[in-house]
Amino acid sequence: MDDCISYRDTHYFSDLMLDYLDEKEILREFYHHFPTLENFKKQIEEKNLSFPQESRIALSSALIKQYSSLNISEETTVNLDLLQQSNTFTITTGHQLNLFTGPLYFLYKIISVINLVEQLKEEYSTHNFVPIYWMATEDHDFEEINYFNFKENKIQWDSEQTGAVGEFATKGLEEVLTKFKDQLNKSKAAEEILALFKNAYLKHTNLTEATRYLANELFGKYGLVIVDGNDNNLKKMFAPYVKEELLNQLSSVEVEKTAQKLKSLGYKAQVNAREINLFYLTEGIRERIIKEDNYFFVNNTEIKFSESEILEELKNYPERFSPNVIMRPLYQEVILPNLCYVGGGGELAYWLEFKNYFEASAITFPVLLLRNSVLLVSEKQNKKLQNLKTEISELFLDQSTLKTVKTNQISEIKIDFSPQKEQLATQFKELYVLAEKTDSSFIGAVEAQEKKQIKGLHHLEKRLLKAQKRKLKDELCRVTQLQDELFPKQSLQERNRNFSEFYQIYGSSLIQQLKEQLKPLELNFSIIYLS
């Protein structure tokens, strides 16, 4: 059984994203094709014309090499080979290398991609479609990825390593496994979870390899292809765009213009471009490249290049140039025959700043699709909902509003004083007729008295509501406790919980239930009642 609610009614999504989903005309210039099944026909035609065959061969070759040490499924093997064919296209999502996948929405991103691929294959049967997970191996924000939450506990990995997180050695994760084991139940599914963690993090030398193994174990049977952009051969394909950035700073010019347009329309810019949107990447270092007085400096180091020297460095070591959040989308679309990027609300908000930059770079801008968002409800929680006579949509309200709504619903006393206010208005209407026959000072006195009595009724209404909340506090407490379970820290479950919390109860059927019920092009927030 499943259900859904509009994104607007969740109260958890930005105006920019809601207006995009509503296809508001003022946002039309910031994206290419809206995500409908019909629009993918145009996207296929455009990408096919602009993506060279030599890029397909280079991509497939690089990815087969990345997979060389991994036991991969037949479905993924087939997809790696299909990438060489001119009628093959990709659907992509990206995510950080969060410890043990991090928040639940990691699963929703990848399943959205897999399900969209299957839907496109059904509609456009003469083409092939490959689901892609782009690992953010070059990120350096370790504090964002070094933990996951299990129920109310933070399971954290501490490390002093620096540089690109994908190159971090997995030392120290034995202690994390021990801490995690103590939190799990004794089910067979919990044993599977522990084995998955152990095989991923204790049997692989760095975080890139561990994450690739983990994602492959969870989704390999659906043909998922995992891409590590930190790759010499893939960076060679992107080198001309890096050169353009170093010499002319194209990205900052184009992205800044778009950001200003969005601000003028009342939206908040999600990312701000730097003059040069590249990092210099070597062992233990990922630092910004800064241009000053015709020299290129690597921030927080003694490294500097003249223009000719940095171009020679790019020619010899393209892997040392790492795109930041502004240039990474372009890198992805240069090396992949990609049709669509599937991301969260925050991600798509910054993609909306890039269309002009893509056009200036002569790269086809992808379809932007908001990933599926989900609230998972257990059988026990569903029974509580029914017993409390509460609609799931009510739990999306902020807690103060929820208490007021439920108090009005279950109170035996009617708290709404609207009839009394209407009666008062009628009485004063008669007084105004009388006042008009006297002088203006009497009219003023009537107005003052009306305001005073309406204010008094409003105050009494609030007092009555407060009194009823006290009287009904036990029932309200049960409702708010359920809301706290489903919306930890008054936030979306998918942003806080880890998949292991549910997997230890439902096992592999968790992913199967998600796959069966998520519909990426329906653009609604899903509620899934687990069984």
Determine the pLDDT at residue 191.
Answer: 96
Q: Does 445 map to a domain?
A: yes
CA angle 65, 218, 237 (to 5 degrees): 30
Determine the pLDDT at residue 460.
Answer: 67
520 close to 93: Cβ distance less than 8 angstroms: no
Cβ neighbours of residue 16 closer than 8 Å, sequence gap 6 or more: 27, 262, 267, 268, 349, 352
Q: Does 415 map to a domain?
A: yes
Per residue of the chain (531 residues), give pLDDT as tens. 469 999 999 999 999 999 999 999 999 999 999 999 999 999 999 999 999 999 999 999 999 999 998 999 999 999 999 999 999 999 999 999 999 999 999 999 999 999 999 999 999 999 999 999 999 999 989 999 999 999 889 999 999 999 999 999 999 999 999 999 999 999 999 999 999 999 999 999 999 999 999 999 999 999 999 999 999 999 999 999 999 999 999 999 999 999 999 999 999 988 888 999 999 999 999 999 999 998 999 999 999 999 999 999 999 999 999 999 999 999 999 999 999 999 999 999 999 999 999 999 999 999 999 999 999 999 999 999 999 999 999 999 999 999 888 887 876 676 666 667 677 667 777 676 677 777 666 777 767 777 777 777 677 667 766 767 787 788 889 999 999 999 999 999 999 999 999 999 999 999 999 999 999 999 999 999 998
Place of tokens 């997809």: 79
Q: Does 124 map to a domain?
A: no
Structure tokens at 368: 């932007």
Find, among 417, 389, 342, the residue nearest to 110 by Cα: 342
Determine the pLDDT at residue 459.
Answer: 73
Q: Does 99 map to a domain?
A: no
User: What is the torsional sign of CA 265, 268, 270, 275?
Assistant: positive
372 close to 274: Cβ distance less than 8 angstroms: no
Question: Domain of 401?
Answer: 389-498
Residue 40: in which H helix or E strand, if any? helix 39-50
Q: Does 440 map to a domain?
A: yes
Q: Does 120 map to a domain?
A: no
Determine the pLDDT at residue 476.
Answer: 87
Determine the pLDDT at residue 1.
Answer: 47
Place of tokens 């003249």: 306
Radius of gyration of the chain (CA): 28
128 close to 87: Cβ distance less than 8 angstroms: yes
**How many domains in the chain?**
1
Q: Does 476 map to a domain?
A: yes
Residue 293 φ/ψ region, left for φ over 0, alpha for ψ in the -120 to 50 degree band, beta for the rest? left
φ, ψ (nearest 5 deg) of residue 416: -75, 120
Q: Does 521 map to a domain?
A: no
Residues linked to residue 375 through DSSP beta bridges, in sequence order: 527
